[in-house]
Amino acid sequence: MWGIIQSIVVMFALFAFAIAVVAQLTYLGMQRYFPRLSPERRARLLVLLSVSPVLISLILVVIIFIPSIMTLIGLAEDHCLTHGNHHAHLCFLHPPAFIHNPWIIALSSLVLFSVLLRMTQALKEIRHGQRLLGQLKQNCPKSSDRSYRLINADLILACSMGLFRPEIFISRKLKESLSPDELKVILAHEAAHTKRKDFLLIFLAKLFSVFFIPKLSKRVMSDIDLACEQACDDYASRQLGSQLLVAKTIIKVQKLMPENNKVPHYAMNFSDTHISQRVTLLARSNRKNKLHNGIFPRYVLMGSAFIFLLINYNTFHHYIESLYFSLF
């Protein structure tokens, strides 16, 4: 059983490190093109880059070990017997001897520990946020139109919280400081966050970017946060028919906030960071997102690649075997 775990972890680690390098180089190379992308598409691209090392590695590991899996469940003959003595092979039922190498064991253990540590920290953060969300739901009544919950506190806060069923929260002091139109801006902006499930996407990106360089990971997360905020600003401006109103509301709320204002990092706050970039984009009323309205269907390339690998898994499996054993 330990040999099976080692085989899977080692292959996963090698794929993840390689894909993380490609993803980070892609991110650095595409930064100059980000202004040409709509915020919505930019956010989607950055999230895909963040989760690609883990997501693609899991897919590739499954494809590589399909022959072993089919043998294990009795749908095919023993994978090892089909190879004969032609070349080395990967099989978690009969793992190769080098899997027991101390360096390989150390690498697989380190990778497994790092991933589990990151996941544990992220889950603790989410659990704490869910407890706070539960307390707020109990103590904060819904508005008359049931579109948000009112926090009866003397602070400036407008945010959305929750992973799968996010809700909007607005503090009493902020509501009293806003005009009816400005309140509509905030509600439209936060409603966009809840519809897009932005916090869930950011959580997944943060969780699965464990293979990124820490400094670069922070930059990617900051760019994702900016893209999500700009996408929601754009949604609010289209709903209310005024980019200027949205920009003015962002600036007003930012001025109302005290310098030491602390917003939970597990909440999508209306006015907290990237203020100048958001206002600047809104001020460019005639901006053109050249790559926004492409006719190429969403996720077609990724879906086609997965289907191709699944259909040709046997050829892909043998190619990876040869490459893998040449490294060792």
| Residue 297 maps to a domain | no
Question: Has residue 258 been placed in a domain?
Answer: yes
| Residue 220 placed within a domain | yes
Q: Specify whether the CB–CB gap between 3 and 99 falls below 8 A.
A: yes
Domain count, the chain: 1
pTM given for the model: 0.78
pLDDT band at residue 260 under the 50/70/90 scheme: low
| Residue 95 belongs to some domain of the structure | no
pLDDT at position 292 is 43
State both tokens at 272: 């907290």
Tell me how far apart the alpha carbons of residues 318 and 61 are, in angstroms, rounded to a whole number: 13
At 151, phi and psi to the nearest 5? -90, 115
Cα–Cα distance measured from residue 87 to residue 101, given in angstroms and rounded to the nearest whole number: 20
Examine residue 317 and state whether it is found in any structural domain, yes or no: no
Within a domain: 171: yes
pLDDT bracket for residue 188 (50, 70, 90): very high
CB 271 within 8 A of CB 257: yes
Of the pLDDT bands very low, low, confident and very high (cuts 50, 70, 90), residue 126 is: confident
Residue 40: strand, helix, or coil: helix
State whether residue 149 is helix, strand or coil: strand
User: Which amino acid, residue 256?
Assistant: L
Q: Is residue 94 part of a domain?
A: no
Residue 86 near residue 2 (C-beta atoms within 8 A): no
Q: In angstroms, rounded to a whole number, what is the distance separating the alpha carbons of residues 173 and 302?
A: 47
Q: At residue 94, does pLDDT exceed 80?
A: no
Range of the domain at 166: 2-64+101-286
> With 0-12 CB in 10 A as exposed, 13-18 as middle and 19+ as buried, what is 215?
exposed
230, 229, 224: which is closest to 51 by C-alpha?
A: 224
**Inter-residue contact 13 to 58 (CB < 8 Å):** no
**Using CB atoms within 10 A of its CB, is residue 59 exposed (0-12), middle (13-18) or buried (19+)?**
middle
Taking a C-beta distance cutoff of 8 angstroms, is the pair 129, 264 a contact? yes
Q: Which residue has the tokens 């869930």?
A: 200
291, part of any domain:
no
Res 317: pLDDT: 67
Q: Could you identify the residue written with the tokens 């200027």?
A: 244
Q: Do 240 and 291 meet the contact criterion of CB atoms below 8 Å apart? A: no
Sheet holding 158-161, edge to edge: 149-151, 167-171, 158-161, 268-269
Note the pLDDT tens digit of each residue in 144-169.
878 888 888 788 888 888 888 888 88
Q: Which of helix, strand or coil describes residue 13? A: helix
